[in-house]
Structure 1
């Protein structure tokens, strides 16, 4: 199987070759495609030779390129080259060929697989239209915000029908800012580690809020490390020293403080940080904030096994979530093809408010947990002692979410429920565990 890449990204070509999934990887220019798409009669080709044109490999500026040749009748000689045969793959960037040119190339070589690389567009409807055209013409596509290595792996998955591997990464996004996402995620990380005994890394990928309130944070921030991340210099062995230890086996890195840097962050550096965290920890939890149309959140969503959407009972949260889904998550990330669940926070128990079951039905999404509103939470946050206080009902819900995640990843329990509850009468009884609400979740090995 040969790969023909219509892309100006030399790093992508190198990643495709290093993947060793293809017999050869050849760069094709936009001008070369234009010649291939010309009417055969203008080229003097026999229509019966429509699918047996030849491409002669050559060097163009040190990069592997193509030179068109043909086997014309009456020419007196036949030139040999690289024949495009059944089973070969075209990888086409939308920065070089628009969707109409890509569809024309697909019609020109119907026996070849064509994968279209999408860029992020400001026009949501235009992006959806391109995806619809790809589906209509039997073309696969790769979504935006991928690194060259991720594009190479994704194309290999398409060509070789390989399933996505389990990443042990869970990303949480907020329907609105100030829903308590960071504090609840930190609490979840600490609880999950206590119950399972695994190493937990928590990464702040919120581009608008570093997530250091409520803590006496004295470690590195994401923006401080960006140079070593984008240059791929930071190694996994160094990561612990850059993060703050919140509890035994639990480390946290706060996010971005410099608002001017947000849209300068690139997918390569973000991917590098997540990959190093995966080497250091058994489970990685990511706080992606409430605005997800940037590289920090995009990579976090792309690599995750589970996407948790944190929300409260306010109508504005539901409205904003629908807007985020329609404009970003569905067209850019295809979120509905992923395992997505609700995580409620700041929930009021009152007949004046809808409960989590009602909200879940209204939004047609399953929920994984419902954290109650705690009146004293604001004071503990102001005093930076969130990790030192415990609320029985809050901890009980954190246990449920943690046990659901343990079931999903088939993590063993270390049997420390009494230590976790610290004297609270919230220990789950054996009968309750047997009929637990999270039994429906597939384990990661089955997902």
Structure 2
């Protein structure tokens, strides 16, 4: 039996939907829980303050989940997760939707078979490092070298990503008010939001252009966009940006099967990364092993950190190092991806990411960049 101490009817319904083989009951307080029959306890911060953990014996339950519903500052969230770890309680952040809370509970108590991985995200810790350009280049790499139907989502709330494509389709801010409606249950209707770069191969939807909406997207809206893209396309490649004060990047990271952290050799990026990881990502349950480093605009300079140096400093594996392309300005001026220029070292470095994505999603990577011309936007 799963006992839920919460006043949120939607949360309880989500748990019932995701765990139909379990009896899910509501309890008004922790004291009123049927301890003898309850295997799993779910309690929200509305009914239990984190400072009161010490007053309860949680050892009688096989699983305990502490669900935050009130947003707290990052440093406090990290502290609360530490308390949960000490009491063997599963911490679930307020940044997650009720559906995602239920999914986390289900995954913890009934691990399922591994699903095919087809959502891949790029993000960084400061702006202008190249997460958007690398997202576009990787999408071209995968599209050019596989038979997959690839979607690019620019979910950076602070940048539409319009620098690398002559865009004529729908922007994220244009669907904000309607994305949760049943209108986009139709696959063709949803696909029509994207610009078709190449039929059955590459599709793009650019992000937010409205500065008033930068922090106003809800976690449900972003989850809906990602989920529908996953259902319609074979591979979804997302640019989450570098700002962690909005639902866009948090939902992007949570929904992704692979996370590519785009960095360069700047010293300040290490400090920013540690701040983001310790205060935001770690409390959300992420581990450093879940991220792969993509070193962008890399310089082989004896006075700058080497690949080995950066791997050791960040404590993460480096997937690829992309040397700075001489076509950066031309790329933005011509609204073309850097992958479309005749720069074989750049394309080969990006293809390392492309092969990783193709293999994870179950597609053969043809590696035909030396034989074929690239289609243009």
Give the CA deviation at 1:105.
4.4
Q: Give the whole-Å Cα distance in 1 for the aligned partners of 2:56 and 2:36.
A: 14
1:126 and 2:42 correspond: no
Counterpart among 372, 381, 390 of residue 332 in structure 2: 381
**Contact 1:214–1:384 (CA under 8 A) maintained in structure 2:** yes
**Contact 1:342–1:366 (CA under 8 A) maintained in structure 2:** yes
Unaligned runs of 5+ in 1: 38-54, 56-82, 423-447
Judged with a 3 Å threshold, the aligned counterparts in structure 2 of structure 1 residues 12 and 103 are, in CA distance, closer, same or farther, namely farther
- In the other structure, the counterpart of 2:299 is 348
Judged with a 3 Å threshold, the aligned counterparts in structure 2 of structure 1 residues 84 and 22 are, in CA distance, closer, same or farther, namely farther
- In the other structure, the counterpart of 2:46 is 95
Instruction: Describe the SS at the equivalent of 1:313.
Output: coil
Unaligned runs of 5+ in 2: none
**Contact 2:3–2:38 (CA under 8 A) maintained in structure 1:** no
Counterpart among 110, 135, 143 of residue 85 in structure 2: 135
1:372 and 2:323 correspond: yes
Give the CA deviation at 1:321.
1.7
If the length of structure 1 is used for normalisation, what is the TM-score? 0.76
- In the other structure, the counterpart of 2:8 is 9
Give the CA deviation at 1:177.
0.4
Q: Give the whole-Å Cα distance in 1 for the aligned partners of 2:265 and 2:113.
A: 37
Q: How many residues align?
A: 371
Q: Give the whole-Å Cα distance in 2 for the aligned partners of 1:97 and 1:380.
A: 53
RMSD over aligned CA atoms reads 2.4
Give the CA deviation at 1:211.
0.5
Give the CA deviation at 1:370.
1.4
Instruction: Describe the SS at the equivalent of 1:141.
Output: strand
Judged with a 3 Å threshold, the aligned counterparts in structure 2 of structure 1 residues 100 and 326 are, in CA distance, closer, same or farther, namely closer
Pairs within 5 Å for 1:21-420: 21-29=20-28, 32-33=29-30, 36=31, 83-107=34-58, 110-111=60-61, 113-119=63-69, 121-162=71-112, 165-235=115-185, 236-248=187-199, 249-331=201-283, 333-336=284-287, 339-386=290-337, 388-414=340-366, 416-420=368-372
Q: Structure 1, residues 307-348: CA drift from partner, whole Å, max 9, x if none?
A: 1110111112222222222222222x2321652111111122
Q: Structure 1, residues 395-444: CA drift from partner, whole Å, max 9, x if none?
A: 1111222123333344223453433576xxxxxxxxxxxxxxxxxxxxxx
Judged with a 3 Å threshold, the aligned counterparts in structure 2 of structure 1 residues 352 and 202 are, in CA distance, closer, same or farther, namely same
Please identify the structure whose Cα radius of gyration is greater: 1
Give the CA deviation at 1:189.
0.6
